[in-house]
């Protein structure tokens, strides 16, 4: 179970506070989003613009790290998080390095085609020697194919939001090891079809208790959720009954 943008119902999304809450919630991993600053630093933020989650405005790509590092990335969620800042990917990897959590890094390179994002992310992963604990995902499947060529052993996942015919065939063609579909885009047949050829299935973003139970019944390999505490309760409840 992966905490979507950290434990984003307990703290401002994609901040160190949210990732700390995910650890406390018992999540198996975290999901986060990365983009590049104007001077090539890998920052953790979901939107391509700064308006929604900071006290600033404009595009992430148009500002240097020296500017972005000073922004308030928490007050929009709750004033008590006013000291939260946009973190670098390396900050998050460093924070989680002494845990056993899996880090799902989503490349936000669909609207903005960040040249060099793939290589910059790989450099961060290598710096912390965490390749065995990282999944790189993206809606930009050209980017995933590039990563497959650069580092074929790295765990890669294709994000998508609409029904895909025989996604296990497509996944093997692209060279990814998993699919991360919108939960509404799959059924049990998709789960079994993928797993029959070694493709993992981790749907997003699942916050409804009954849907969590349904997906677990189908045998998905992971669930991406805004509510890791709730998902942990569902998972632990099933273990107690079995």
- What is the set of active-site residues? 4, 46
Partners of residue 135 on adjacent β-strands: 104, 155
DSSP state letters, 101-131: -EEEEEE--SSS--TTHHHHHHHHHHHTT-G
Between CA 177 and CA 149 the distance in angstroms is 13
Sign of CA dihedral 231, 132, 179, 61: positive
Sign of CA dihedral 56, 58, 60, 65: negative
Output the six-digit token pair for 53. 């989650």
Under DSSP, the state recorded for 144 is H
Between CA 48 and CA 45 the distance in angstroms is 8
Between CA 33 and CA 209 the distance in angstroms is 25
Between CA 2 and CA 7 the distance in angstroms is 9
Region for 39 from its dihedrals, namely left if φ exceeds 0, alpha if ψ lies in -120 to 50, beta otherwise: alpha
């Amino acid at each position: 179970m992966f905490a979507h943008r950290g434990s984003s119902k307990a703290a401002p999304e994609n901040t160190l506070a949210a990732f700390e809450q995910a650890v406390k919630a018992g999540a198996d991993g975290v999901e986060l989003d990365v983009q590049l600053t104007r001077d090539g630093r890998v920052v953790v933020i979901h939107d391509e613009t700064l308006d929604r989650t900071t006290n600033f405005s404009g595009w992430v790509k148009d500002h240097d790290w020296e500017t972005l590092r000073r922004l308030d990335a928490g007050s929009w969620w709750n004033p008590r998080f006013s000291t939260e800042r946009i973190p670098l990917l390396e900050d998050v990897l460093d924070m989680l390095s002494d845990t056993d959590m899996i880090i799902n890094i989503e490349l936000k390179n669909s609207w903005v085609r960040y040249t060099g994002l793939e290589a910059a992310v790989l450099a961060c992963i290598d710096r912390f020697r965490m390749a065995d604990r990282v999944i790189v995902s993206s809606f930009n499947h050209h980017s995933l194919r590039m990563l497959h060529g650069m580092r074929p052993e790295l765990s890669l996942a294709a994000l998508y939001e609409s029904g895909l015919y025989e996604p296990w065939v497509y996944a093997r063609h692209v060279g990814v090891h998993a699919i991360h579909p919108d939960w509404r885009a799959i059924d049990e047949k998709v789960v079994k079809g993928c797993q029959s050829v070694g493709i993992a299935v981790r749907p997003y973003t699942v916050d409804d208790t009954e849907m969590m139970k349904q997906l677990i019944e189908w045998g998905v390999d992971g669930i991406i959720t805004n509510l890791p505490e709730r998902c942990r309760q569902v998972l632990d409840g099933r273990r107690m009954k079995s």
